[in-house]
Structure formats: structure tokens, C-alpha cells
Amino acid sequence: MYQWDFHTLWQYRNIIFIGFGYTVGYTVIVVILGLLVGLIAGLCRLSPKVYISGPFRAYVELFRCTPVLVQLIWFYYALPILTGIELTPGMAAVLALTLYGGAFYSEIIRGGVISIDPGQSEAGMALGMTQFQLMRRVVLPQAFKRMTPPLVSQSIMQLKNTSLLSVLAVPDLLYQGQIIAHDTYRPLEIYSLIAALYFAILLPATILAKRLEVKMSDGRGA
């Protein structure tokens, strides 16, 4: 029978703490940048002009249909060879996860915008709104309400995908865990702890998102 020993892990608390910080920090960055890219790509894909929507469609499909781990490695190892620009592991990671997440965010945003009754746009247009005003005042506020659940799901994916940064030796939660595992020969304990930590970040985040969702739909029908 295996003897669990979590006590040895206590002395590695600083290493785990640093990993925790990297994981949360990178998540915040790639969620924010990913949403920004996704918003731009999603809205541009709605353009009737093919020379605007086309390139963004190509971008979305390219990043949706290749594994994020491959993208990560490609940005770090292949891009410098092609362009001569050296990326730090952190830069490569932010670039890959932002573009990967952005591709999925853009599809969520595009779908949310399409789901809004065209009558809403017509009402705004009849008032003399420009396309920009229409999006900002009428369509997006309604669409974001519907997009919230899938956007939250995708952001959770973003956090979990930061675990791939360990491949580039970015000291995130998983990478730190690997170091500790090598050091202690206690992989069961450390990976259990790492899993629990991911869960401990994400569960409260989902509860918060749920609250937000309920609050946004308070007293207002669709």
C-alpha cells in the first residue's frame, strides 16, 4: 500500500507559490489579449467585404485546427529561424496562447452577434446610428450577455493551457511541480497538489462568473 506523504512538500511552498503566480499572471495576460484579438477578429469576420473577413477567417481556421502545443513550439523554435526575431519563452507563450484563444473567442463573439435579432440593428439604424454606435450601444451589450458562459469556458481553457508553458521551461505551476517531483520522487503527491491548485483557482472563478451572469440578466428579458 502506497504511503502518502504531503509533509515533504511543505518545504517547496515557495517554488509552488512562484508557479502559482506565473500561471495566474500568464492567464490574465492571455485572456485579456485573447479577448481583444477575438473581438477584432470576430467583428471583422462579420464584414460583408471579403478582403476584410477573408484574412481573419484564414487566421481563425489556422489556429483552431492546429494543436496549441504545436503552435507554442513553432513560435519558439521555428519563427526565429524564419524571421530572425528571437522570442523569449514567455513571449512565444503569450503569442501562441493569445492567438489560439483569440481564434476561439472570435467564434464565440461572432456567434453571439449573429444571434441578436436583426430587428435590433434595424431599430438602431432607423435612429440614425452608425455601424460603430450600433455595435457599441445595441448589439454587443445584448450579445455579451449571451456570450458570457462560453467566454468563461474558453477562459478556463486558457488557464489550463498555460500548463503547456512548462514545455518552454516557463516556471508555471506544472513546471514547478515537475521540478519538485524530480527532487522528491513524490510525483503522486505533487501532481495531486497541482491538480487541486488548478481546481482551487478555477472553481471560485466559475462561481463568480455564474453570479455575474445572474446579475446581468436581473429583471431584463431577452
Q: CA dist 102 to 94, 97, 157, Å? A: 11, 8, 12
Alpha-helical regions (H) of 5-78: 13-45, 50-64, 68-73
Q: Report if residue 145 touches other proteins, rule: CB under 8 A.
A: yes
Q: Report if residue 52 touches other proteins, rule: CB under 8 A.
A: no
> Least CB distance from residue 44 to other proteins, whole Å?
16
For residues 211 and 120, what is the distance between their CA atoms, to the nearest angstrom? 27
Nearest Cα neighbor of 58 from 106, 91, 108, 97 is 106
The amino acid that residue 169 corresponds to is: A
Dig out the grid coordinates for 41 from the structure.
Answer: 477578429
Dig out the grid coordinates for 3 from the structure.
Answer: 504511503
Q: Report if residue 53 touches other proteins, rule: CB under 8 A.
A: no
What residues from 77 to 106 belong to the interface with other proteins (CB under 8 A)? none
Q: Which of 133, 187, 208, 211 binds other proteins (CB under 8 A)?
A: 133
Q: Which of 32, 127, 200, 212 binds other proteins (CB under 8 A)?
A: 127
> Least CB distance from residue 117 to other proteins, whole Å?
8
What residues from 152 to 181 belong to the interface with other proteins (CB under 8 A)? none
Residues that bind other proteins (CB under 8 A): 117, 119-120, 122-131, 133, 137-138, 141-142, 145, 219-222
